[in-house]
Amino acid sequence: MQIGVDPRRAVAISGMATASSVIRLLDGSRDREQIIAEAGQHGVPREVTERILALLAAAGAVVDFPAEMLRFVPPELRQRLMPVLATASLAAQDSDGGASLIARRSSCTVQVSGRGPVAALVADLLTSSGLAAAGTGSPQEASQADLLVLVGRQSPAETAELLRLRQPYLAVYAEEAIGVVGPLVRPGVTACLRCIDLAKAERDPAWPLILAQLAGRCADPPGCDAVLAAAVAAQTAAQAVAFADRSHQADATANGTLELVLPSWQWRRRTWLPHPACACGSHQAGQDRTGQYRPASREPEGMNAAGELRP
Ligand SMILES: [Zn+2]
């Protein structure tokens, strides 16, 4: 018997000739003893049911979702969370069917600050992912969130205030037919927007002057169509969800940005290390006793030393 279609997910189990009448009962509404009893009513002996359950569990094909947790979830919300749970339990290989993950997400608040299609799409995606996402507002209003998603170009004064509040944030913008997701800033730990501006100024002495003129302004019309907005919003939501899940996927935007430059279809990662001249303190925090910089988080899987995504 094979469960699943794609060879990267599917498991094939032998010795399951009588399994169908037991598997039919595995819809999450019965506990172990109830399954054994009901299978018995259909003529399946206890030892056979136990063996089938053991084989399925060994193959990672059955998850033990805490029934207590589902009992208090309204049916409508349960229906909405089912795809989230199914994805989480497959991707994270949780044996609890995503229960602990849902608990983490519902206790994590993410606020989206900014206007326009990207901000609206990100808020929608976060809500659908089971995150306590709040609508748009100014960064200062949102400073109680676990993570603040900042959509659009930010003024240095605003990001300095977030540093003072020690507010983690994920910066994102889409303009000039380029989408940029990141950095995900843990103040004092990973490179902040000012670290990046200092690095850019080293390469381009005119950058501080351009930056001063950018604050609070956006291109009209914005060079961001509906498809780019959706792509940027999806990547942003994936990073925010990974932050809530404490998944290594969020490392992609720690000390880095993910960038999509149209007409390319491929997201590329750029590494931005904490800058020694930045007041955020992330460079000092990353230094070990020998005075050498040691990144706060490891480079994510699938990337080479230069931080570029492997094809
Ligand atoms: Zn900094």
What is the helix, strand, coil percentage profile of the chain, to 5?
Answer: 40, 15, 45
Which residues have a Cβ under 8 Å from the Cβ of 107 and sit 6 or more positions away? Answer: 132
278 Cα–ligand 1 center, Å: 5
272 Cα–ligand 1 center, Å: 10
Please check the confidence at residue 97 and state whether its pLDDT lies above 80: no
- pLDDT band, very low/low/confident/very high, at 311 (cuts 50, 70, 90): very low
Mean pLDDT of the region 67-87: 76
> 194: closest CA among 167, 166, 154, 232?
154
Please check the confidence at residue 94 and state whether its pLDDT lies above 90: no
- pLDDT band, very low/low/confident/very high, at 309 (cuts 50, 70, 90): very low
pLDDT on residue 13: 80
Please check the confidence at residue 256 and state whether its pLDDT lies above 60: yes
Count Cβ atoms below 10 Å from residue 135 Cβ, excluding itself: 12
Residue 297 has what DSSP assignment?
S
156 vs 144 pLDDT, higher one: 156
Percent of the chain having pLDDT more than 70? 85
**Domains, in order of start, for the chain:** 1-62 (no CATH), 108-286 (3.40.50.720)
308 Cα–ligand 1 center, Å: 22
Orientation of helix 99-106 relative to helix 226-245, angle to 10°: 110
pLDDT in tens, 258-270: 999 999 999 999 9
Taking the C-alpha atoms of residue 172 and residue 152, their distance in angstroms, rounded to an integer, is 6
Taking the C-alpha atoms of residue 117 and residue 103, their distance in angstroms, rounded to an integer, is 29
pTM of the complete model: 0.81
169 Cα–ligand 1 center, Å: 13
Mean pLDDT of the region 114-118: 91
Q: 134 and 145 in contact (C-beta within 8 Å)?
A: yes
Please check the confidence at residue 83 and state whether its pLDDT lies above 80: yes
Percent of the chain having pLDDT more than 90? 45
Q: Please give the mean pLDDT across all residues of the chain.
A: 84
Least confident range of 33-42, 45-54, 142-151? 142-151
Q: 138 and 150 in contact (C-beta within 8 Å)?
A: no
Whether omega before 263 lies within 30 degrees of 0, making that bond cis, reads yes
231 vs 88 pLDDT, higher one: 231
pLDDT on residue 130: 81
297 vs 169 pLDDT, higher one: 169
194 Cα–ligand 1 center, Å: 5
Residues near ion ligand 1 (CB < 5 Å) are 192, 194-195, 278, 280
